[in-house]
Structure 1
Amino acid sequence: MAGLTALVLAGTRPGGDPLADYAGVSHKALIEIGGSTMIERVVAALAAAPAVGRIVIAIDRPELLSNLPGLQPSVCGKPWVTMPTQVGPSATVSAAIAREGTPLLVTTADHALLRSAWIDEFLAACPPDADVVAALAPRQAVEAAAPATRRTWLRFSDNDFSGCNLFLLAQPNATGAIAFWGEMERARKEPLRMMQRLGWLFALRYRLGWLSSAAAADRLGTLSGGVRLVLVSMHDGRAAIDVDKPADLDLVRRMVSAT
């Protein structure tokens, strides 16, 4: 899969980001950790991955990136360009697919611990017939890597998992999954509407802990128009640690300073 295009979501929320405000910057992507901004750290990891050929950064103010040392051509080592953000991450990813096509590797600018080895592991585990692949980390691995972290857990019958903000949109019909994602974004404040769309039996099985991760992937793929969605379990629990709140930022800064 050499020459893969990678998309980094680096925009900010329309009303501003509380974590960016906390850190005193305009965009969360510009928060410094270990002497580099988060966007520089993410781009460096992508650039070091052999499969990645070019990088697209989705950001509403591209001029903010122009003077960052880690993004200079002599340092980055892989070509990168910017594209405008849309209203919400799913719309931005949809616009990126329309512009760049597939396969498209997607991650976020707050994935400050991202390593090229994780990208290699993830891509190697992606089945060739998958349309969309999402990375998850099992709870045991996450808590072993960072016992103090507080994550949002997907509680399946086979294990608890946390998302890793790493996706492969492998085939053109991945657009069905992005459209369904956008639908769920719009319904996030209407739980009854969301449950009706997912299916009450599906929601009940999940609530009772009877739903396996594979069954969940199958159901979500069906709701996305017959997309083959595959979940890949990552070995390193740090892959699930993004920077979403002040406690995450403090944790990641400690982890980076300890290495």
Structure 2
Amino acid sequence: MSRWTALVLAGSRPGRDAFAQAHGTDLKALIPVGGVPMVARPVTALLKADEISRVVVLAQQPERIVVALPTDVRLSVIRSGDTIAATLENILSDPATEFPLLVTTADHALLDEGIISDFCRQAAGADLAIGLVEQRPLLARLPETSRTWLRFRGGAYSGANLFAFGNRKAASAVALWRSVEQDRKKGWRMIAALGPSVLLGAVLRLRTIEQTLASVGRKIGLDIRKVELSNPLAAVDVDKPADHELVTAILDGQA
């Protein structure tokens, strides 16, 4: 079994964060979820997972994040760059970086060992793997949820804030990410950045998601793999007040 290094992105967006301030902090990663600082939830899950050998949390204010986390020799908190893409580019170019890398986010409050195992198993060996949840099981579990859906022939998908970088070649994908970083929540703009043929195929639903990822992979020289996760809660993060209410209800067994 491959042993993965996990990166947890716990940075803050520039400017005032009204969501965080409503919960008594200025850092989103420290918003309490079920009485626990949000960032501590995915970090704890990763430390428990058999597949993970090391966890690195990246934040602009690491000295504040570290006090919210468990003490573990496998855990470190380091200063991140100004943006996600810049931070990942630096890590992928560092000769000391060990692969494979699993990347997730501090707001992945429902991440658990089962999701991690499912993702690592399916992502093993890919240059780049992207965690996704298909629309039908997610709506069956949470009929009222509002998500950003990417629609293809054969299904619609929501991101699960889980990515795998199998080797240094994946830096080309991060360069593409940098070009659309401000639009990462706007699925169609991200697809458009990949070229007119990919955009047209998605708009008209002429291609499956596998065909689309294969086309993108050829463009940037990578084996890109879809990882469709069996637990639909993998697609639920805490990005706004309604998400916080939903995740709290799920943790309390009320949703």
Same-fold status (TM-score > 0.5): yes
1:16–1:56 Cα change, 3 Å: farther
Give the letter for the 2:9 counterpart: L
**CA drift at 1:66:** 3.5
**CA drift at 1:251:** 0.5
Say what the alpha-carbon RMSD is for the aligned residues: 2.4
Which residue of structure 1 lines up, in the alignment, with residue 233 of structure 2?
238
Q: Would you say the 8 A contact 2:66–2:77 is kept in 1?
A: no
Which residue of structure 1 lines up, in the alignment, with residue 216 of structure 2?
220
Residues in 1 aligned to 2:71 and 2:127: alpha-carbon distance in whole angstroms: 34
Provide runs of 4+ in structure 1 moved above 6 Å: 191-196
Structure 2 unaligned spans of 5+: none
Q: Where do 1:14-29 residues align within 5 Å?
A: 14-29=14-29
Residues in 1 aligned to 2:191 and 2:104: alpha-carbon distance in whole angstroms: 27
Select between 14-23 and 173-182 the one with higher mean Cα deviation: 14-23
Select between 98-107 and 135-144 the one with higher mean Cα deviation: 98-107
Match of 2:99 among 97, 102, 109: 102
**CA drift at 1:197:** 4.4
For residues 105-160 of structure 1, the C-alpha deviation after alignment (integer angstroms, 9 at most, x for no partner) is 100000000001111011111252x2001110111111122222111001011101
Residues in 2 aligned to 1:149 and 1:249: alpha-carbon distance in whole angstroms: 12
1:192–1:3 Cα change, 3 Å: closer
Residues in 1 aligned to 2:191 and 2:110: alpha-carbon distance in whole angstroms: 34
Which residue of structure 2 lines up, in the alignment, with residue 87 of structure 1?
82
Residues in 2 aligned to 1:38 and 1:215: alpha-carbon distance in whole angstroms: 36
Q: Would you say the 8 A contact 2:139–2:145 is kept in 1?
A: yes
User: Secondary structure in 1 aligned to 2:226?
Assistant: strand
Identity %: 36
Match of 1:254 among 246, 249, 255: 249
Q: Would you say the 8 A contact 1:131–1:169 is kept in 2?
A: yes
1:60–1:126 Cα change, 3 Å: same
**CA drift at 1:103:** 1.4
Q: Does 1:64 pair with 2:64?
A: yes
User: Secondary structure in 1 aligned to 2:26?
Assistant: coil
What TM-score do you get using the length of structure 2 for normalisation?
A: 0.90
User: Secondary structure in 2 aligned to 1:11?
Assistant: coil
**Number of paired residues?**
252
Give the letter for the 2:13 counterpart: R
Q: Would you say the 8 A contact 2:59–2:65 is kept in 1?
A: no
Residues in 2 aligned to 1:42 and 1:257: alpha-carbon distance in whole angstroms: 17
User: Secondary structure in 2 aligned to 1:142?
Assistant: helix
Select between 81-90 and 95-104 the one with higher mean Cα deviation: 95-104
Which residue of structure 1 lines up, in the alignment, with residue 174 of structure 2?
178
**CA drift at 1:94:** 1.5
1:197–1:236 Cα change, 3 Å: closer
Residues in 2 aligned to 1:80 and 1:133: alpha-carbon distance in whole angstroms: 23
